Amino acid sequence: GENVEQHPSTLSVQEGDSAVIKCTYSDSASNYFPWYKQELGKRPQLIIDIRSNVGEKKDQRIAVTLNKTAKHFSLHITETQPEDSAVYFCAAGGGTSYGKLTFGQGTILTVHP
Amino acid sequence: GAGVSQSPSNKVTEKGKDVELRCDPISGHTALYWYRQSLGQGLEFLIYFQGNSAPDKSGLPSDRFSAERTGGSVSTLTIQRTQQEDSAVYLCASSFWSNQPQHFGDGTRLSIL
């Protein structure tokens, strides 16, 4: 089955800096890669996603890049703000286990004012 | 409804008891997913439904776990003879179709004494 590795496990940045979180996946058939933000005690919220026919997608301060050959994808947050502090999860889906998402272990992002 | 609704929000029960968790997906969403999140961990896939069928139930940890969905809407996850290791937050998500963006509910926090 699919296996998703996420790094780093914790990330601390100053307000205004950029943050990058990286994930690798194992199933070359996976074709859908969402990112979720989860604040303490809250539900995971979808912030951006990308499909395998696209190399990059951007939404305001957030961007995701995908390298199918290397089987890795990354989340980029620019001009970070304290309210960006949360746990971020990457996931992969649509492969041999069509429908389900396999999640990474999460990255705790802390943005210091 | 406006979002995925789960009940109860919290459940405390004694070891050995059976529990039933409920998920009401977003109206019109045909796919429904159950995940489990242990404290400080990522999301672990349990089962997903497309309509009333469960194409993938590979994540169910043991035969004490079962789920059903009737009428293509509400789903229930049942855990029989609960064990302490079943303590976790059980999250439900729904999407318009399989391999489409998944939207999560607030979860049920299950505590086994």
Q: Report phi then psi at B63, rounded to 5.
A: -75, 0
B56·A34 Cβ contact <8 A: no
State chain A's mean pLDDT as an integer. 95
* Contact flag A89-B43 (C-beta cutoff 8 Å): yes
The model's confidence at residue B19, banded by pLDDT at 50, 70 and 90, is very high
Rounded to 5 degrees, what angle do the CA atoms B90, B77, B14 make?
75
Nearest Cα to A88, choosing from A66, A98, A73?
A: A73
Tell me the pLDDT tens digit for each residue of A33-55.
999 999 999 999 999 999 988 89
Mutate to test the interface with A, among B30, B95, B99 (most CBs of A within 10 A): B99
